[in-house]
A and B are shown apart, each in its own frame.
Chain A
Amino acid sequence: MQSDRPGRFNDGRSASSRKVMVRAMATGVEIRGEDGFLIAVWKTDDLVADGELPDGKGVRLRCAAEPDARLAIADAVFVREALSVPPKRFRPVRWGLAAGLILGAGVLIGLYLSLPDLSRLGAAMMPPQTERAWGSQIAAGFERQMRACRSPAGSEALARLTDRLTAGLPPERRAVTVRVLDGKVVNALALPGAEIIVFRGLIDEAGGPDELAGVLAHELTHVAERHPAAALIRGLGVGVIATVITGDASGLVASGLVTVMASAYTRDDEAAADRGALALLTRAGIGKDGFAAFFHRLEGREASGGLLPAWMSTHPDSKARAEAVETATAAAKSLPPSLRDTEWQAIKAICGGV
């Protein structure tokens, strides 16, 4: 049985539209001009369904062998007759999508897990001079915003305490700059290179030289293990990855994610710094009780519900950490205070006293 159906044909070479008669054959469709002249033969295997005409006026067909040509046929039933197999539709993307999702999730998890090691590697590969220059640049930035505190007696006492603690570090990491800045925050920071910043608020809060020694030992461990450089590289990595994934060029998503991820990653660094601090204190012959007391002091502030000291927000779980410090085996006998009282008073008054 042969049946001719009217249609419109675009040959893909010019933009003209010509009226044609379309005939269904066993092997495909024949497209003839109104004069009966054969224009094209499209094989069944090459036929691609190309959607419907608006208002149900018919269907459109394409041919894989002639990608630019188009055929519109007014009769939808005809196509079902003409095609022994249902016409190929656009390839379903479901499997590809699922595979893509799994692959994407896998890549993300892999990045999440490997980022700490990668950033540590990055920090280790960074030349020491570069790291030092980077750190002192950041420190200089802090000093422009807050007054740097120096006094002959106070600075001398602080240097003595620092030297006692750094004696336990490898020789190439011993040259550390400790700056005291006149800020109210109860905090201390380790920067890339060999920079430690202690804010006046932390010295005010500390109840004795051993407490300050504990905090210094903790920050010195960060410096020795190059945590700050690794953390900054990690933050950069998180930011870049967030930008790549979300395409947000404004940096809002990136900075938000950097903050969230930073707290997820710092725990390991902090635990390592606490362990290292205990080792440094023991080597220097300083009791660990002061370090634990400092955590308890912060915990008290936490319970009283006041403004959280900054050192706590960067170093959470003070109670658990105090317990960890207390249960750690250290020198059993009670040790003398790490500084004489006059030295301690000099440090307390380093910013001009109150």
Chain B
Amino acid sequence: MTPEPIFPFRHHGRTGAAVRVALVNLGLNIVTLSFWRFWGRTNVRRLLWGGTSVWDDPVEYTGLGGELFKGFLLVLLVVYLPLLGLYGWAQVLIAAEDPRGGLMLAGLYPLTIFLIAVGGFRARRYQLSRTLWRGIRGGQTGSAVGYALRSMAVWVLVPLTLGWALPWGEMMLARYRLGHTTFGDRTFACDAGVKGLYARMAVMWLCGAVYLTLAVGFAVLLEQWGIEEEAGAFYLAMLALGAVFVLVVPWAWYRAAVFTRLAAGTSFDGHRFTAQVRTWPLIRLVLGNALISLFSLGVLRPWAAQRTFRFTCSVMAVDGVPDFAAIHQSADHGPSTGEGLVSVLDGAGEF
């Protein structure tokens, strides 16, 4: 017998508030030559976290812009500038036709990707340690290096297997992330597998292959018939329209399954989560967010992030109430500076 699912998550932030924060940040970023971005991102998070409540108590974001700024400066000096110097040196060696230049670049590219992966994991640790509920801190254990090595293995295997390693790879990484997520002195557990994912992966893969074959085939045919510009433009438009149906729908169908499996595989204090993600709402969310980001040139991304929060809160359920009295404050206060690696090497933070 499975207990009745409870929907404890709610997002009650208003769109107007997200748009206002986004526009204020835009203005301040312009006058401060984008120096404001650390504080701006913090304000957006405070809005998104604070607009979310769990069992009627709000989530809080307690990070500070100054922490992000310090992390940025630190990584800039310790990692980014030396890396830039090494890249410059490699370029000089290549210009001088020294074979060591190419060798250096061959080492620098993986190193950069590795550092981005490390940075992503560390950023998550920072964000979780600044996330409070009922005064209790979240957190993340695990090793950033271990996570980065696993990520790189996935990024190498996915293209090598023509995409077939994707379901296995992304579930493995998600298991690592969720299995090292903590709230107070408790750790989440995640045993999400790939069950049911490969069927949807196959459909997505076949649709992609068929689409690619057709697109290339038509292009070759049109080339042989020697058609004019107008027909070419029409062909491109049809191709784009076709992509929405042939690529986006199977992709969303697959992502919905990933989301559902991930939630179902995750538990906290012995209580399992569930997520009722259906394909169409997911398409609406993702396409809507893409259009918002595109037409606002990224300025209104906080609004898009808010829609994601709202969606996630509306679908997440849990099969029971954890024994909160037994969950104690975590002794780990988290890193003192935030996200340096990501904000330098990756730049674009979502929210």
Contacts and interface: CB of A to CB of B under 8 A. Distances in A.
B57 A104 contact: no
B53 interface: yes
Contacts of A341: none
Contacts of B37: 247
- Secondary structure class of chain A's binding surface, majority of residues: mixed
Contacts of A16: 134, 324-325, 327
A14 to B, nearest CB: 5
Interface residues of B, number: 42
A135 to B, nearest CB: 13
A17 interface: yes
A249 B347 contact: yes
B136 A12 contact: yes
B329 interface: yes
Given A104-B35, A137-B92, A140-B96, A14 B326 contact: yes
A16 B81 CA distance: 47
Interface stretch (A67-75, A154-162, A195-203, A283-291): A67-75
Most buried by A among B34, B136, B326, B345: B136
A162 to B, nearest CB: 26
A343 to B, nearest CB: 35
A15 B268 CA distance: 13
Interface residues of A, number: 35
Contact of A14 (B31, B56, B328): B328
A17 B57 contact: yes
A55 interface: yes
- Secondary structure class of chain B's binding surface, majority of residues: mixed
Contacts of A118: none
A53 B343 CA distance: 33
Nearest to B52: A54
A140 B92 CA distance: 12
Most buried by B among A51, A55, A247: A247
Given A14-B328, A137-B92, A245 B135 contact: no
B34 A247 contact: yes
A8 interface: yes
B344 A68 contact: no
A69 B60 CA distance: 13
B76 A244 contact: yes
A13 interface: yes
Contact of A249 (B80, B325, B326, B329): B80
For the complex of A and B, the 7 pairs showing the least CB-CB separation, nearest first, are A16-B325, A10-B134, A12-B135, A15-B324, A68-B135, A15-B327, A54-B12
